[in-house]
Structure 1
Amino acid sequence: MSRIKQMTFELTGRGTSTVETMTFDQLRSMNDGGTQRADFHVVALVDGGRGSVTIDFRRYPLERRSAVWIAPGSVHQWDDFGDLVGHLILFVPTAPVTAATRELVSATDLVAWWRVSAEQWPLIDVARTHLVLETERASGSDSSELPAILLSAFVTRLRRPDQGAHPTNPVFRAFRASVEANFRRHHDVGYYAGVLGYSARTLSRAAYQATGRSAKAYIVDRIVLEAKRLLAHDRLSAASCAAALGFPDASNFSVFFRKTTGLRPGAWQTATT
């Protein structure tokens, strides 16, 4: 087991308000060069150097004032970070202490990369520095209250590009949460409409207003993303993916995957090796 994978188990096993920090130097000593898929958030701030990271099959450049947000479940790989300087903040989804920040980190379609403006950087840097100092101070103790409070301040100060436009429509929030919990078994809008007590048209209108996609397209995109993650990181076969994602057989899954991506599962898996 790589040190990063071991840390995944350590972090998720320490409680519901755990926050950890590390430097890129520490990441370099742990990284095994492979893909990672953690159950916690990873937020990185780059102070200097150049490199790149791939998150859910899209590659992002890294340089000074780059910010990276890797949500739980995302497949990611640090491609090139040999001279990067900065910090990574790792925290479980329930770590933020305010309702607003918990809502912010609960989204399943978080912006993964952006460049912090020169005006915002000093304020974010101060919030990050305070969080790092208190996290290191609290290491090994039973108290995690202050790091969790400072994490909420840091998340608020960070201000992702999508933060101000985060969907507040309660219909879409309920739909999004239900899809995340049930997309492996239920692929039709009718199921979610029945469970949530809305018409399929209402769900599609809410989804389109929040994401620019219909409710059906939102469900399909979520299934495809998970299929790609299972094929690339877990190296599952088409038959295993079909079973994991609620398809009747490998053939049915392969037709679905090819229709939405243009490639058969095996071909896509080979291309991402």
Structure 2
Amino acid sequence: MESPQHFAHIGVTGRPMVETGHVTVIRQMTYQPVGRGAAAVETLTFHRLRELNDGGTQRADFHVLAVVDAGHGTVTVDFLPYGLGARSAVWIAPGAVHRWDDIAEVAGHVVLFVPTAPVTRATRELVADPDRVAQWSVPDADWPFVDAARSHLLLEASAPPVGASTELPEILLSALIARLRPPHSAARPVNPTFRRFRSSVETHFREHHDAGYYARALGYAPRTLSRAVQQATGRTAKAYIVDRLVLEAKRLLAHDRLTAAGCAGTLGFPDASNFSVFFRTATGMRPGAWQSMTAVK
């Protein structure tokens, strides 16, 4: 995606990559507020997104929330394809590697916002939830409310930032998120112990790979923590940590084009060999093979 020139707050940086005779630019998109009254929310249509999109892989430090009115298409988020259809929504969290594969026939809007933009406790918890699904269909009964919330947000986001109006898009973004009600990917109930564990893993997974560390840090017996994680996810605490490390490793290999040594340093492994063994055990592939498979040509 090229830099949205009329959205002054979105900056895009590119890193050239030379590979098998092809030169590709992998883009890192950053949210860059301009001035003290800069908005924390930006909006654009899918028509404008098509003008900006070059079909490349992107990784943003802000949230991307799309609401589809009509048409069909696809988007890839963290290496998984998702369909775009009428009355569906897509939520791409900061750090996720994504690519708009096919949006030629899609109509709707995209909302870009920083993690701190929502103003209510419930919507901030949704924004911080790493297990929120990436794509879902909006129930017919909910659609009129979603449409109304979006329309009000679009109207306020287009207004000049005068006085308190700079806060209104954030308030209306919260209303839209609340009306969209993004589902949680875990079928089991999320308990407070797991919430604390999940938050701690998200903060420390690069330095600490041992489930025992999180049990000690959170003040739980290892068995208590393991039971809570199993109840919430169906996985052991160790498997949850491994899955988070693998996801970040895939992002670093595919988007940042890091070597095994670079991934080892970033993710807290002693050396490239140790990381390579970990990655191959978890995925069945060598890091270099994964990187080649996901290369943008």
TM-score by length of 2: 0.85
Give the match for residue 16 of structure 2: none
Distance 1:263 1:39, change over 3 A: same
Give the match for residue 251 of structure 2: 229
Distance 1:96 1:185, change over 3 A: same
Measure, in 2, the Cα distance between the counterparts of 1:164 and 1:201.
21
Residue 6 of structure 1: SS of its match in structure 2? strand
Give the match for residue 159 of structure 1: 181
Match for 1:121 among 143, 155, 167? 143
Measure, in 2, the Cα distance between the counterparts of 1:141 and 1:231.
45
Give the match for residue 11 of structure 2: 6
Match for 1:175 among 190, 197, 221? 197
Distance 1:226 1:213, change over 3 A: same
| Alpha-carbon shift at residue 42 of structure 1 (Å) | 0.8
Distance 1:162 1:214, change over 3 A: same
The answer (yes or no) to whether the contact 2:131–2:185 under 8 Å persists in 1 is no
The answer (yes or no) to whether the contact 1:39–1:73 under 8 Å persists in 2 is yes
Richer in helix (by share) = 1
Q: How does 1:13-92 map to 2 (within 5 A)?
A: 18-92=40-114
| Alpha-carbon shift at residue 213 of structure 1 (Å) | 1.2
| Alpha-carbon shift at residue 83 of structure 1 (Å) | 2.1
Distance 1:163 1:139, change over 3 A: farther
The answer (yes or no) to whether the contact 2:132–2:185 under 8 Å persists in 1 is no
Measure, in 2, the Cα distance between the counterparts of 1:97 and 1:166.
27
Measure, in 1, the Cα distance between the counterparts of 2:161 and 2:68.
23
AA paired with 1:133? L
| Alpha-carbon shift at residue 14 of structure 1 (Å) | 6.7
Runs (5+) with no aligned partner, structure 1: none
AA paired with 1:3? S
Give the match for residue 210 of structure 2: 188
Measure, in 2, the Cα distance between the counterparts of 1:103 and 1:182.
19
The answer (yes or no) to whether the contact 1:124–1:157 under 8 Å persists in 2 is yes
AA paired with 1:81? I
Q: State, as a whole percentage, how many aligned pairs show the same letter.
A: 63
Measure, in 2, the Cα distance between the counterparts of 1:105 and 1:83.
28
AA paired with 2:41? V
Measure, in 2, the Cα distance between the counterparts of 1:157 and 1:69.
14
| Alpha-carbon shift at residue 215 of structure 1 (Å) | 0.8
Measure, in 1, the Cα distance between the counterparts of 2:237 and 2:162.
46
AA paired with 2:200? S
Distance 1:158 1:138, change over 3 A: farther
| Alpha-carbon shift at residue 119 of structure 1 (Å) | 2.0
AA paired with 2:199? A
Distance 1:102 1:166, change over 3 A: farther
Residue 101 of structure 1: SS of its match in structure 2? helix
Runs (5+) with no aligned partner, structure 2: 5-9, 13-28
Residue 262 of structure 2: SS of its match in structure 1? helix
Residue 133 (str. 1) matches residue 155 (str. 2): yes
Measure, in 1, the Cα distance between the counterparts of 2:121 and 2:290.
40
TM-score by length of 1: 0.93
Q: Say how many residue pairs are matched.
A: 273
Distance 1:214 1:122, change over 3 A: same
- Segment of structure 1 superposing worse, 141-150 or 190-199: 141-150
Measure, in 1, the Cα distance between the counterparts of 2:114 and 2:92.
12
- Segment of structure 1 superposing worse, 148-157 or 117-126: 117-126
Give the match for residue 150 of structure 1: 172
The answer (yes or no) to whether the contact 2:3–2:11 under 8 Å persists in 1 is yes
Residue 64 of structure 1: SS of its match in structure 2? coil
